[in-house]
Amino acid sequence: MVTATNIVGLLEQVAAITPVDEREAASIRRIVTEVPLLADPCSEHADPIHLTASAFVVGTRGTILHLHRKLGIWVQPGGHIDPGESPLAAAVRETEEETGLHPVSAAPEGVLFHVDVHAGPRGHTHLDLRYVLLSTDDDPSPPPGESQDVRWCAFDAVDQCAEPALVPALSKLAEAWWDPRCVWREKVEQMQDRRPGTTP
């Protein structure tokens, strides 16, 4: 749940992001400026400008993208934040609902990797918080009613898979995945080893 206290911490996380391009730099400035003015920043009903949450799901096969049913573009899973829900919890829930995967956060407190401000439906503006989630290499299995076009996109092919505006962030994500200091690969390997039916 987002309270006045942890909104401060959230905005500190946003301000600490090193932007990948001018679009993200502008998004950071807008989120830090506008969120304190919102009575209920996570509510899509309280104000047409509100926070949303999405997930960069990473694993040995790359990152997960789905074909947005309304926009017709390949993007990461995500959506609105439910009442009483934290942005990180919303990113996990939306990923499970839209892909059938069961990812975990890259860190207990969450890894806020990227932010973006963009137009949403009904004249709304989405202040999107993008978290890193880790997943085993299972095939996506979206339930009925969700986009059935969900796939893993290899890190070296993100410029061919994703919506162009998303490519700089996904390229940065790939660099982080392959960084020798990154612990995500080790965590994913441990998740793979713990899967039912896996031979030690």
Q: How many domains does the chain have?
A: 1
pLDDT of residue 198: 63
Is 33 part of any domain? yes
Domain limits at 180?
A: 4-193
Please give the pLDDT value at position 120. 87
The residue among 193, 199, 162, 156 whose CA lies nearest residue 73 is 162
Question: Which residue from 38, 43, 12 is spatially nearest to 115, judged by alpha carbons?
Answer: 12
According to the model, what pLDDT value does residue 127 have?
A: 98
**Is 132 within a domain?**
yes
Does residue 57 lie within any of the structural domains? yes
Q: Which two tokens stand for residue 31?
A: 């989120």
Whether the Cβ atoms of residue 19 and residue 25 lie closer than 8 Å to each other:
yes
Tell me the CATH number at 56. 3.90.79.10
Domain membership of residue 200 (yes or no) is no
Question: Which pLDDT value is given to residue 5?
Answer: 54
User: Alpha-carbon dihedral of residues 67, 72, 27, 127, nearest 10 degrees?
Assistant: -80
pLDDT at 102: 95
Assigned domain for 183 exists: yes
Is position 43 within any domain? Answer: yes
Low-confidence ranges of the chain (pLDDT < 50): none
The Cα 111–Cα 200 span in angstroms is 29
How many angstroms separate the CA atoms of 107 and 37, rounded? 29
Q: What is the pLDDT of residue 20?
A: 98
Specify if 55 maps to a domain. yes
Question: What digits encode the pLDDT tens for the residues 66-101?
Answer: 998 777 899 999 999 999 999 999 999 999 999 999
The verdict on residue 86 lying in a domain is yes
State pLDDT tens for residues 184-194: 999 999 999 98
